[in-house]
Amino acid sequence: MENTENIKKIAIVGPESTGKSTIAAQLAAHYNTVWVPEYAREYCSKLTEPCTWQDEINMFRGQLDLENQLLGSANKLLICDTTFITVKIWSDYMFGKAPEEVLYKLPRHPYDFYLLMDIDLPWMDDPLRDFPHLREYFMDVWHKELRELNASYVVVSGSSDTRVNNAIAAVDKYLHC
């Protein structure tokens, strides 16, 4: 097992229906490593009521736990299909504020590089997606959040092979800086 301190964490983030899970899986295969699925997707698929404040906290903790579980299996890179920044963004939107423990952890749990998925893909309906009409709004929010964290990130655009090739090129460039 590799020393986890040397593992680079690459976060795949962005608004709904931008191909984050697809890109995460493709990058993990390309770099022969593991990827951390979006904990909230599994969590929310089991909810029978609208998401609550406690659900947001549970998703925050679950995402971190899942990431920590998979970190030791990573091969130099850990590809993260979203991060708990999503909890902050959704909480801000749905409840007008984010949980304190999320705000506390954000600057203390950095990712090495972010790929912000562009909204240039067609919307794909999914029972766990809510805001097809707010994609531009949430894209702006993602830019703002990443800037506030002083995060190193690039926007990844294009469809299908172009998108994954653009993502690989961005990661390669980051790794060789």
> pLDDT by residue (tens digit) across 28-68?
999 999 999 999 878 878 888 888 999 999 999 999 999 99
Q: What is the pLDDT of residue 127?
A: 56
* pLDDT, mean of residues 113-133: 80
Of the candidates 46, 39, 142, 122, the residue with the CA atom closest to the CA atom of residue 81:
39
| C-alpha span between 156 and 47 (Å, rounded) | 31
3-state helix, strand, coil in the chain (%, to 5): 55, 15, 35
Looking at every residue in the chain, the average pLDDT score rounds to 91
Q: What is the pLDDT of residue 40?
A: 86
Locate 13 and state its tokens. 């983030």
Of the candidates 35, 53, 51, 32, the residue with the CA atom closest to the CA atom of residue 43:
51
Say if residue 132's pLDDT is above 90.
Answer: no
Query: Backbone phi, then psi, for 128, in 5-degree steps?
Result: -95, 5
Please tell me the class of the 4-175 domain: alpha beta
Say if residue 1's pLDDT is above 50.
Answer: no
Say if residue 104's pLDDT is above 70.
Answer: yes
Q: Which residues contact 20 (CB under 8 A, 6 or more apart)?
A: 12, 13, 14, 38, 81, 82, 117
